[in-house]
Amino acid sequence: MYERGSARGPSRRWRAWVVAGGGLALVAILALILVAPWQGEAPIEFSYSQLLVALAEGRVIEGTFVNGDRMEGLLHPESGTTTTGPVAFETQLPVGQVDHLLERFVSAEVPFGARASEPSLWTHLLFAAPWLLLGGLVLFFFVKGPGAQFARHSRTRSRMARHGRGPVKFSDVAGADEAKAELEEIVGFLKDPKRFGRLGGRMPRGALLAGEPGNGKTLLARSVAGEAGCEFFSASGSEFVEMFVGTGAARVRDLFRQARAHAPAIVFIDEIDAVGRRRGEATASGSQDEREQALNQLLIEMDGFTPSDSVVVLAATNRPDVLDPALLRRGRFDRQITVGYPDLKGREGILRVHTRGLPLGPDVALEDVARGTGGMSGADLANIANEAALAAARRGSMLVEMQDLDEARDRILLGSERRGLLLTAEDRHLTAYHEAGHAVIALVVPGLDPVHKVTIVPREKSLGVTAMLPERDRHTHAFSDLRARLVMLMAGRAAEERVLGIERVTTGAGSDIRHATRIARQMVVSFGMSRRIGMVDLSGDDGPLTAHTGRIVDEEVRRIIDEAYQEALRILDEERPLMDGIAQALLARETLGQADLAELMAVR
């Protein structure tokens, strides 16, 4: 794949600088030719006494006084030498001897004159400097500066990846089975468009991949090119929005011209919302006209295809709601494919893809890792595999074991451990009971996910964690499940109150309270789980709530949270021995796993 900064880039830059250097040297030579005179053979140095002797012998042909302190001239060579022609000489005159020398020249009847000295070489260079600077600026303008940009401004910056160089296949993409099924038809069209044309069908002209970042939209587009064995052109939507008017439209034309020349081909435009936003909307950058010109050209190019072109446009965005309706209509983007977060099976498949090259230990259970990563994207899962390999290397192990994967997941979800953070005995005691309160509710209340680990080791985002792993992905939540979740969230503050008293509770439950408030408000305004509000959706954009309705919503949210808090207090009072046992075990061992919690439950 040829990209900016690829192997061809340095050679082009080297050639450009060679051309610039050669041109600058040529300008320097021409400037010296025009400004500096050519110098002849260097004159011989004569002392003042030697000059007087030469005058007396009649060997001096002529002389010139230079600036009143130096004599230049010609003289006959001495007898017995091989030199036949006149010899140039130069003599530095002593102070106050100019008049005496004039008399000697007059008496010897030797012609003489006077002149000012000529500029030195440095003076010539000083006069030539503006010419050199001007020449350098001109060369820079055309080689590296705006002149080169004007010459290249209409060329697309797309990258072309040939399918023969490490193609990506559908087997390299996991966790997006529905999206792959939609794209398999496009692969069939690219491989054999005539097979579908026999029945009157036409090849899809485009497919829009929409979804949150990190879920593999670009990888899916590359896999289509790899499966079909065709060329793949990729570009970013922002590359078509420039300050020069007409640049974006010219780049769009150039991109599709290249794609047609290499058909069958795929054109992939990442973050298409940068250029495909709804027309008429003002932008802060003031580039609305240029963006709309680029969008209009894109619409024309996509509508101008024929089935024989064998060029398909794939685009990716996480904001399909802001795209122009003309771009989304059938005939341009015939398919709109949602690429969402992977489910449990998909996460396990993604982990298997990214751990294929890792030496996994016998205790590794990728299904367990997948259960503990609900809501993570493919990029997050790839990062877990990489962090696990780094954790194993830090331990000096030759195998990536389950503890490494657990550490990698906790690092991504909760942040790095802060073992250097020194907590007082009171802080450790409080944190242990806070997490013990969460753990007790999670262990005894039905409808909650199993507890995976409880720890009071400080991390970047918290001083302790009660981690639960879901047994399966949940797509709907019952009222009892949400209420149990609220009880578990409020149990940390309830445990603090029971141990320290209501006047000594701390800010440690702040994040739990925020999360509980968000769940309770959704129950009231979105899920119809409040008797006073009823089954009405108040979360839309139909305008702000009235003062009366807003007061009722606030009262219902507070009632639901208060009831959950009272329930947490009641359960902790009943299970006080279990809470004390978990807290004491945390103070002794800092981290409790499922086996440790099972032992404490057996004692209960």
Mind listing the pLDDT tens digit for each residue in 459-511? 877 888 888 877 777 778 899 999 999 999 999 999 999 998 888 888 889 99
Out of 413, 434, 467, a domain closes at 413
CATH number of the domain that residue 493 is part of: 1.20.58.760
Mind listing the pLDDT tens digit for each residue in 210-233? 988 888 888 888 888 888 888 888
Whether residue 2 is contained in a domain is answered as: no
Whether residue 1 is contained in a domain is answered as: no
Task: Please give the structure tokens belonging to residue 103.
Answer: 């008399």
Whether residue 3 is contained in a domain is answered as: no
Beta-bridged to residue 89, according to DSSP, are: 44, 73
Whether residue 76 is contained in a domain is answered as: yes
Q: What is the pLDDT of residue 125?
A: 61
Q: For residue 8, what pLDDT band results from cuts at 50, 70 and 90?
A: very low
Q: For residue 17, what pLDDT band results from cuts at 50, 70 and 90?
A: low
Q: Mark whether 90 is an active-site residue.
A: no
Check pLDDT > 90 for residue 580.
yes
Handedness of CA 141, 146, 148, 151 (dihedral sign): negative
For residues 89 and 231, state if they share a domain.
no
Q: What is the pLDDT of residue 1?
A: 32
Whether residue 419 is contained in a domain is answered as: no
Mind listing the pLDDT tens digit for each residue in 243-296? 555 677 888 888 888 888 887 888 888 889 888 888 776 554 445 667 788 888
Check pLDDT > 50 for residue 10.
no
Instruction: For strands 311-317 and 44-46, give the pairing.
Output: unpaired
Q: Is 578 helix (H, G, I), strand (E, B) or coil?
A: helix
Whether residue 403 is contained in a domain is answered as: yes
Mind listing the pLDDT tens digit for each residue in 76-85? 887 767 677 7
Q: What is the pLDDT of residue 283?
A: 53
Q: What is the pLDDT of residue 399?
A: 92
Mind listing the pLDDT tens digit for each residue in 342-375? 888 889 999 998 998 899 999 998 988 888 888 8
For residues 203 and 327, state if they share a domain.
yes
Whether residue 543 is contained in a domain is answered as: yes
For residues 205 and 330, state if they share a domain.
yes
Q: What is the pLDDT of residue 565?
A: 96
Q: For residue 9, what pLDDT band results from cuts at 50, 70 and 90?
A: very low
CATH number of the domain that residue 247 is part of: 3.40.50.300
For residues 164 and 301, state if they share a domain.
yes
For residues 191 and 53, state if they share a domain.
no
What's the average model confidence in pLDDT over 85-110? 80
Nearest by Cα to 221 from 163, 164, 304: 163
Beta-bridged to residue 114, according to DSSP, are: 65
For residues 447 and 509, state if they share a domain.
yes
Check pLDDT > 80 for residue 551.
yes
**Average pLDDT taken over every residue of the chain:** 80
Check pLDDT > 50 for residue 6.
no
> Which range among 20-34, 422-436, 561-575, 587-601 has the greatest average pLDDT?
561-575
Q: For residue 2, what pLDDT band results from cuts at 50, 70 and 90?
A: very low
For residues 487 and 372, state if they share a domain.
no
What's the average model confidence in pLDDT over 526-539? 89
For residues 321 and 198, state if they share a domain.
yes
Structural domain total, the chain: 5
pLDDT greater at residue 599 or residue 76? 599
For residues 409 and 484, state if they share a domain.
no
Out of 117, 140, 171, a domain closes at 117
Whether residue 420 is contained in a domain is answered as: no
For residues 580 and 463, state if they share a domain.
yes
Distance CA 415, CA 459 (A): 6
Beta strands in 81-156 (DSSP E): 87-92, 112-115
Beta-bridged to residue 63, according to DSSP, are: 73, 112
For residues 204 and 273, state if they share a domain.
yes
pLDDT greater at residue 193 or residue 282? 193
Q: What is the pLDDT of residue 491?
A: 96
Please list, residue by residue across 95-112, b when 16 or more beta carbons sit within 10 angstroms of its beta carbon and e when fewer do.
Answer: eeeeeebeebbeeeebeb
Distance CA 51, CA 56 (A): 9
Mind listing the pLDDT tens digit for each residue in 104-135? 887 777 887 777 666 555 565 666 667 667 76
Q: What is the pLDDT of residue 564?
A: 96
Mind listing the pLDDT tens digit for each residue in 436-458? 999 999 999 988 988 888 999 88
Distance CA 112, CA 100 (A): 14
* Residue 491: domain span: 425-603
Instruction: For strands 159-161 and 44-46, give the pairing.
Output: unpaired
Of the residues 72, 407, 435, 496, which is catalytic?
435
For residues 451 and 538, state if they share a domain.
yes
Q: What is the pLDDT of residue 48?
A: 78
Check pLDDT > 60 for residue 164.
no
CATH number of the domain that residue 82 is part of: 3.30.720.210
Distance CA 301, CA 313 (A): 10
